[in-house]
Amino acid sequence: MAQRRTAIRYAKAVLELAKDQKSAELVNADMKSIANAVEASTELKDMLLSAVIPAATKKSALLAIFKDLNKLSSSLIDTLITNKRINILGEVAQKYTELFNESQGKQVAKVTSAVPLTEALQAKVLAKVKELTGKEAEVVNIVDESILGGFILRVGDIQYDASISNKLNKLKREFTLN
């Protein structure tokens, strides 16, 4: 919990600096690529969390991986290394993107489905999110075959579970209670 709050503080500070320097959108692109890379690579995640790898090695590895970073983004890496917080880089990047989208009146709608969403379904999801929240949204589709069918929609604090596996679990609970 403490790391989450710390990540939010760093993300807010970088966002304020980026807005002042009118480079918030460029920094957002950097933060998206950093968050995606950390999320996708267990090796990168392990390197950031490792207490054995020296900070200088971590810094040079990160700057080699992310070559075309904005000055503010590379300053964030320097600051996190100096403050011995480089292990939360992925979370800071993710929070920055969330805060940036929020400041732009956008949000992310995560849709978990058994199969990839078609263009028509994505349009329907976007329309429903706009109707529910009054804000524009970006759809992120997560494919999880374990839900069998239907979908799970998450937008901010709201979750709507219309998956087949959820309905089957409800039926199972009803039968075991009776």
Domains (ranges, CATH) in the chain? 2-102 (1.10.520.20), 106-177 (3.40.30)
Task: Give the containing element (helix H, strand E) for 15.
Answer: helix 2-20
Residue 140 contacts by C-beta under 8 Å, 6 or more apart in sequence? 108, 109, 110, 111
- How confident is the model at residue 4, as a pLDDT? 83
Query: What does the pLDDT average to over 59-84?
Result: 92
Rg (CA), the chain: 19
Kindly report the number of other CB atoms within 10 A of residue 63's CB atom. Answer: 13
In sequence order, which ranges of 21-160 are alpha helices (DSSP H)? 24-40, 42-49, 55-65, 71-82, 89-103, 119-133
Residue pair 152/111 in contact (Cβ under 8 Å)? The answer is yes
**Closest by CA position to 6, among listed 74, 60, 84:** 84
pTM of the model: 0.71
- pLDDT tens column, 83-130: 999 999 999 999 999 899 888 878 888 888 888 888 888 888 888 788
